[in-house]
Amino acid sequence: MQAIKLLYEGKAKKIFETQDSQLRIMEFKDDATAFNGQKKGSIHDKGKINNRVSAALFELLESSGVKTHFVKILNDRNMLVRAVEIIPLEVIVRNIVAGSMAKRFGIEEGKRLHEPVLEFSYKNDELGDPMMNRYHALALGLATREEIDYIEKTSLKVNEILRDFFASKDILLVDFKLEYGRFGDEILLADEISPDTCRFWDAKTMKKLDKDRFRRDLGDIEQAYLEILERISK
Ligand code: TMP
């Protein structure tokens, strides 16, 4: 399968058309941004690592009955995916308080939540991805009630599967962001699942093994991404 035309270039990935209108190629870049593009940099080999981590996690989720856009890995930085129409909602699931939730409620990072929290953001870079709830999404026509119900239910299932999987690797799944797309009559889990889009803490040392090392200038960024790939590959 070959890339024919660049369809879209985002902050961390490129999407290409292929000869098959149902399939696209997703290329993972080393570019890293934070705070809605205000902080820019590059993480050596991040694209290669995120391609492999995402592929492994999509395969794990598919084997547990979650439908995803993933078809197969093509090479170092590229995976073949189904040509979905992205729903402009970012779905965040949290198990432990961190990041914007810690800030918003004035709670210290690290507090374990009694129940997972599910949040939506409107996927819109110009507005800085503002938080919204399901009523906003419905009222603005971003998704139907059935689609939102499916997205919520699936995201909580994804959380259970990934939380257990990472726990078996001595990693705490603190929080993560998902995106979904329409593909015919189906809704597929799309985008990526990687240290760029999740918070991972080492369960013993609590060391951060994700993009917070870049956001907060903590150093050891490449090693942290590699550590995630190595642990999940065991
Ligand atoms: P937050 O605490 O900054 O809201 O982030 C929650 C989770 O979502 C965290 O795992 C990082 C991820 N995330 C993204 O994947 N993309 C984004 O643009 C943001 C802000 C967060």
**Helical segments of the chain, H only:** 46-63, 99-105, 134-139, 145-167, 212-215, 221-233
CA of 197 to the centre of ligand 1 (A): 6
Tens of pLDDT, residues 214-234: 999 999 999 999 999 999 998
Q: Which amino acid is at 35?
A: F
DSSP 125: G
CA of 199 to the centre of ligand 1 (A): 8
Tens of pLDDT, residues 175-188: 999 999 999 999 99
Q: Which amino acid is at 49?
A: I
Relative to the CA of 210, which ligand 1 atom is closest?
10
Relative to the CA of 198, which ligand 1 atom is closest?
10
- Separation between Cα atoms, residue 48 and residue 13, nearest integer Å: 11
The predicted pLDDT at position 90 comes to: 98
Q: Where are the domains of the chain?
A: 5-82, 85-220
Q: Which residues line ligand 1 (CB under 6 A)?
A: 92, 98-101, 129, 175-177, 197-199
CA of 12 to the centre of ligand 1 (A): 14
Report whether 54 contacts 91 (CB < 8 A). no
- Separation between Cα atoms, residue 149 and residue 164, nearest integer Å: 23
Question: Which tokens go with 216?
Answer: 């907060």
In 3-state terms the chain splits into helix, strand, coil percentages (rounded to 5) of 30, 35, 35
Q: Tell me which CATH code domain 5-82 carries.
A: 3.30.200.20
Closest CA relative to residue 81, chosen from 142, 11, 147, 7: 7
Residue nearest to atom 15 of ligand 1 (CA): 197
- Substitution site in 92, 100, 189, 212 for ligand 1 pocket (most atoms within 8 Å of beta carbon): 92
* CATH-assigned architecture of domain 85-220: 2-Layer Sandwich (3.30)
Coil, strand or helix at 141: coil
Using the predicted structure, report yes or no on whether residue 198 has a pLDDT greater than 90: yes
pTM given for the model: 0.97
| Mean pLDDT of the 92-104 span | 98
Please state, rounded to an integer, the average pLDDT across all residues of the chain.
98
- Substitution site in 96, 113, 162, 175 for ligand 1 pocket (most atoms within 8 Å of beta carbon): 175
Tens of pLDDT, residues 2-57: 989 999 999 999 999 999 999 999 999 999 999 999 999 999 999 999 999 999 99
